[in-house]
Structure 1
């Protein structure tokens, strides 16, 4: 495995790209409400990224993905494609129109000056059930716990092990998606290493200058997933139960990590001292 260690110039570009990705999530929040379509959200984000930020939406045409952001509602695990109308695939609803009680993940990746910033968060639509609110909070906390482990010298597998330990203690009913993982990021959208979110023995040693995403996907039921054969992208929970995901791009520093995609509403520090 060849992991790219970023130099000072690359790190600064990563900071810029990360900040822009975070700003998109901050900008879009007022538009997320009942009756809005995911296609409308995509158009708003695309315009902001290209016209306001002067950046590039990385998902657009990436391996054929047709939109600028991913919008994953309720039981959609990831890679939801923005659309104007709800559809049905193999008995699973593929929602596109936001409804009261929905939870939705928006996954944003921007390219600025050749470098990527990748982040996602959950949004609540109207009156969301206590169960789904808790699911979203647990998923977010699992990300924060994982980031608190990051520092030079630890083994990469410790990240996923920490997430699994937390999820097991927080709720015996939830599970961690195993089919999708975090990844290195920089001048390429997806680089080494792969960052698995469940207990594993990856002995890759973290070093200052590494940049990667942590993006745990937590299902309310079993961890199994089903990919939509029609569009080739949308991923559903196998049992139809809801799912939640949060994601940050982080930089390994000499004393811990820097959260490159930190948003204004978050209370965690940008520079995490994990020594």
Structure 2
């Protein structure tokens, strides 16, 4: 969507803040022994107490309020009886709707003890997100985002999952502009418009190139080849001064 009124921006900020708060609250509860279903209930309560609804449930009948992906799972992990263990790499992805507006955010976390390699991967996953965000400005090519993230990944000897793209968001969970590459894409020719709302969400990996279905369920995705992978995501509005990030919380 394109932000066209103060009401648009106010409503987008509110649902974005709730998504960020849900991730923060869930992350604070992340410890060995908690199940992904219990984590999901914490996120659900944050959203529902504020009058918001889970976007994956609302839009796609996803079997959970949030997506929680552990270790070998790259994205869209279903909350359930899986018990979080020390050393696990956990991705929490929260998207929600309130008053007809949508937000989407996610982060990866390590449950101590932390190995240096995975600690570096998480640190650089955040850096990759900000490398992309720093390319955002009205009138600039959307391709700048993927080109910058791709350069960062190559320089630091990482791979990127190249079939999980960023996307437009605002009046629905997934809308125009669709399939926003967070990797170099020579076919990307679109330009960032003032007020355009979308996500940036690179999947940085220690060897994975592709996300594929497993035999676990109809939702959970795994890297091919299997490799530790992190995702960090924000929803933003394009402005002439750079990105206005909607899903950041203190």
TM range (shorter): over 0.9
Tell me, in whole angstroms, the C-alpha distance in 1 between the residues paired with 2:13 and 2:43: 20
CA contact (8 A) 1:70 1:106 kept: yes
Q: SS at the partner of 1:68?
A: coil
Aligned to 1:245: 231
2:64 corresponds to 1:32: no
Alignment of 1:174-253 (within 5 A): 174-193=158-177, 194-201=179-186, 202-253=188-239
2:77 corresponds to 1:80: yes
Tell me, in whole angstroms, the C-alpha distance in 2 between the residues paired with 1:229 and 1:155: 38
With normalisation by structure 2, the TM-score equals 0.95
Superposed CA offset, 1:33-82 (max 9, x none): 001110111111112211x2111111115323111000011121100111
Q: What is the number of residues matched between the two proteins?
A: 247
Aligned to 1:23: 21
Deviation at 1:229?
4.4
Tell me, in whole angstroms, the C-alpha distance in 2 between the residues paired with 1:7 and 1:128: 45
Deviation at 1:141?
0.5
CA contact (8 A) 1:13 1:115 kept: yes
Superposed CA offset, 1:215-243 (max 9, x none): 00111113133212452110111232211
CA contact (8 A) 1:49 1:56 kept: yes
Q: Specify which of 10, 13, 31 is matched with residue 11 of structure 2.
A: 13
CA contact (8 A) 2:21 2:46 kept: no
CA contact (8 A) 1:61 1:67 kept: no
Tell me, in whole angstroms, the C-alpha distance in 2 between the residues paired with 1:256 and 1:47: 33
With normalisation by structure 1, the TM-score equals 0.87
2:60 corresponds to 1:63: yes
CA contact (8 A) 1:105 1:122 kept: yes
Tell me, in whole angstroms, the C-alpha distance in 2 between the residues paired with 1:154 and 1:130: 37
Tell me, in whole angstroms, the C-alpha distance in 2 between the residues paired with 1:53 and 1:143: 28
Runs of 4+, deviation exceeding 4 Å: none
Q: SS at the partner of 1:59?
A: helix
CA contact (8 A) 1:182 1:213 kept: yes
2:122 corresponds to 1:158: no
CA contact (8 A) 1:158 1:200 kept: no
Gapped runs of 5+ residues in structure 2?
A: none
